[in-house]
């Protein structure tokens, strides 16, 4: 089989297979562009809590007394629910201590209270579930987390970190639609994070090969007779100008 015949056949079938992914790239890219980025970020579902008055910080000894046996590396005073808490960094992780020096446990009730304080919608809390395994919606966030769901029209979900009692993610159905098309676009069907994994590199290389071979085949697929109508049109125009 002549080389150009083989090249044409390979170009046709490889292009047909990879054309499906080209279509998915086009559709997913278009959908991500059409979705309002404010809706994707869920900006309409949350608000910044009001700042509370500055308080006199506790001495380190009082904070240490609330966490007996813990090795304190550092701590800071920050606002929470109209008051202040101490976010203490220890050798075992982050712990919270109240203004009176007592440790704070981030349970379901506290997680719901924190979520409701930042929620700006018209729904109510429908559930609060403690997560100890990674999820796609809260990927990359340290565990454990509290997933707090609201019963509004957007199926809003807040993720509250158990270590800091802070909302770390806001998710809605609009974000979930966007995330689905993001998955198709980067071809990372499990983690939905990497866009330079072997699969997408292979497909992109294949599409570049199809484009290159298609450009090469242009020179052997057309003859002068294919452009005779253009040449004839040009000749007729030149004759008219001479008249």
- Each residue's pLDDT tens digit, 79-111: 898 888 889 998 888 999 988 888 999 999 999
Query: How many other C-beta atoms are found inside a 10 Å radius of the C-beta of residue 166?
Result: 14
**pLDDT computed for residue 227 by the predictor:** 58
Residue 29 token pair: 């890219």
Backbone CA torsion sign across 161, 164, 168, 170 = positive
Q: Which residues of 94-117 are buried (b: 16+ CB within 10 A; e: fewer)?
A: bbbbebebeeeebeeebbbbbbee
Instruction: Give pLDDT < 50 ranges for the chain.
Output: none
How far from 151 is each of 46, 84, 155, 175, CA to CA, in Å?
14, 29, 6, 16
**In this structure, what DSSP letter does residue 48 have?**
P
* φ/ψ (deg, to 5) at 100: -90, 0
**Helix-helix angle 3-34:198-221, to 10 degrees:** 130
What 3-state DSSP class applies to 132? Answer: coil
**pLDDT computed for residue 124 by the predictor:** 96
First and final C-alpha spacing in the chain: 53
Cα 75 off chain centre by: 31
Backbone CA torsion sign across 126, 128, 131, 136 = positive
């Amino acid at each position: 089989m002549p080389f150009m015949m083989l090249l044409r056949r390979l170009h046709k079938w490889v292009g047909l297979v990879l054309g499906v992914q080209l279509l998915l790239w086009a559709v997913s890219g278009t959908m991500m562009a059409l979705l309002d980025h404010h809706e994707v970020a869920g900006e309409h579902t949350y608000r910044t809590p009001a700042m509370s008055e500055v308080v006199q910080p506790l001495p380190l000894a009082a904070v240490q007394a609330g966490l007996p046996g813990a090795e304190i590396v550092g701590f800071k005073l920050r606002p929470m629910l109209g008051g202040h808490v101490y976010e203490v960094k220890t050798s075992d992780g982050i712990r919270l201590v109240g203004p009176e020096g007592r440790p704070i446990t981030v349970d379901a009730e506290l997680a719901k209270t924190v979520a409701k304080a930042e929620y700006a919608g018209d729904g109510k809390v429908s559930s609060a579930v403690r997560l100890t395994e990674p999820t796609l919606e809260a990927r990359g966030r340290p565990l454990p987390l509290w997933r707090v769901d609201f019963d509004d029209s957007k199926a809003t979900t807040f993720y509250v970190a158990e270590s800091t009692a802070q909302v770390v993610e806001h998710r809605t159905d609009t974000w979930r639609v966007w995330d689905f098309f993001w998955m198709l676009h980067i071809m990372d069907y499990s983690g939905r994070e990497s866009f330079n994994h072997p699969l997408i590199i292979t497909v992109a290389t294949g599409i570049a090969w199809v484009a290159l071979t298609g450009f090469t085949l242009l020179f052997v697929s057309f003859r002068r007779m294919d452009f005779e109508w253009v040449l004839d049109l040009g000749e007729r125009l030149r004759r008219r100008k001479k008249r």
